Amino acid sequence: MEQTKLLFRAALIVALIAVGARIQIPLPYFDYYTLQFTFVLLGAALLPPIYAFGAVAAYVVMGLLGIPVFAGGGGISYILRPSFGYLIGFALCAGALSYVHQNYAVHTKKQYFLMNLLGIVIVYFFGLTYKTAILYWYLNETVDWAVLLSTAFAFDIPADIIMVAILSLGERRIFKALRAFSRQRKPKQMHMA
């Protein structure tokens, strides 16, 4: 029964990440900001590490198979996009933060905030590293680290920090509500006459 609940939660996280990709907030000079990362963080708090990583990895595989779940659609060619590294970072972030959540006492808003800040570091490390590699080796563009970092620090990272702050305010309540909901729902017994 417990595994069924975990699979349901993992599937819900996959669906929420896909919906989050479609919620796009326009930013000046850039395409948009999506809410995918919000649901990655939520999955990390609600699922054990293997399920958190697996849910986000399943989302990435779905997109690579051509199901239009990514912000820009889907397909195997997404691997060659400079932004694909963020998707890799999402999966690794979900597994790592779930491990932190499961193995260390994360109960206060400040602890959730710090844990989620670690998520920003993980995602941007993989995202910016991959972006640099694709720009340099695949697109043959000279990579100016100052420009690359300034684009991330100008809009994306501040937006993620604000989102993390807002999420940290309610994450503990969401976690408690799901645990209470899971405890009170008992399967009905079938009686054979």
pLDDT by position in tens, the chain (length 193)? 589 989 999 999 999 999 999 998 876 655 678 999 999 999 998 899 999 999 999 999 999 999 999 998 999 999 999 889 999 999 999 999 999 999 998 888 899 999 999 999 999 999 999 999 998 899 888 877 787 777 777 778 888 999 999 988 887 787 777 666 656 555 555 455 5
Sequence spans of domains, the chain: 2-184
pLDDT for the residue 60:
98
Q: 2-184 in CATH: which number?
A: 1.10.1760.20
Global pTM value: 0.86
pLDDT for the residue 118:
97
Q: What is the C-alpha separation between 67 and 59, in angstroms, rounded?
A: 9
Query: What long-range pairs does 126-132 form, CB within 8 A, spacing at least 24?
Result: 126/85, 126/86, 126/88, 126/89, 126/92, 127/83, 127/85, 127/86, 127/88, 127/89, 128/85, 128/152, 129/85, 130/82, 130/84, 130/85, 130/86, 130/88, 131/82, 131/83, 131/85
pLDDT for the residue 147:
78
Strand-pair category, 32-34 with 24-26: antiparallel
pLDDT for the residue 183:
62
Q: DSSP E strands: which ranges in the chain?
A: 24-26, 32-34
pLDDT for the residue 134:
92
Q: Scan for tokens 């937006």, then name that residue.
A: 159
